[in-house]
Amino acid sequence: AQTVTQSQPEMSVQEAETVTLSCTYDTSESDYYLFWYKQPPSRQMILVIRQEAYKQQNATENRFSVNFQKAAKSFSLKISDSQLGDAAMYFCAYRAGGGADGLTFGKGTHLIIQP
């Protein structure tokens, strides 16, 4: 079975600084997708960034980028120029290729932005 581990229950960063959230996963599959979701207090899960395992290039979305290390099964999220609106729970998630499977989530990291 696949597992996703987020080892940082909580992280704090000063506004405008950079923060990195860690995620490791375990799978025997070769085709899979990795995701970072943001969940603010409103409970709405919002996709931040997605990485296809077959792509060597790290995904980026504006201030958000990932460091995908396939051999190490590591998928960290870097948030640059942190903003107060970035404060939320962040979940790392895994899905096997093919599209059908449900997501396997990590336990989440609570990100605090200090003004």
Partner 1 sequence: GAGVSQSPSNKVTEKGKDVELRCDPISGHTALYWYRQSLGQGLEFLIYFQGNSAPDKSGLPSDRFSAERTGGSVSTLTIQRTQQEDSAVYLCASRGLAGDWSYNEQFFGPGTRLTVL
In angstroms, give the least distance from the CB of 10 to partner 1. 15
Query: Hey, how many other C-beta atoms are within 10 angstroms of the C-beta on 40?
Result: 13
Q: How many residues bind partner 1 (CB under 8 A)?
A: 21
Residue 94 as a binder of partner 1 (CB under 8 A): the answer is no
Residue 84, SS3? helix
Position 45 contacts partner 1 (CB under 8 A): yes
Our CB check for partner 1 shows the closer of 14 and 44 to be: 44
Residue type, 89: M
Q: Segment near partner 1 (CB under 8 A), from 7-15, 54-62, 70-78, 101-109?
A: 101-109
- Do the beta carbons of residue 106 and residue 23 sit within 8 Å? yes
Q: Is 109 in the site for partner 1 (CB under 8 A)?
A: no
Please tell me whether residue 99 adopts helix, strand or coil conformation: coil
Q: Reduced to 3 DSSP states, what percent helix, strand and coil does the chain have, rounded to the nearest 5?
A: 5, 50, 45
* Closest to partner 1 by CB, 68 or 91: 91
| Least gap, CB of 26 to partner 1 (angstroms) | 16
Contact between 44 and partner 1 by CB under 8 A: the answer reads yes
For residue 24, the cross-strand partners are 5, 74
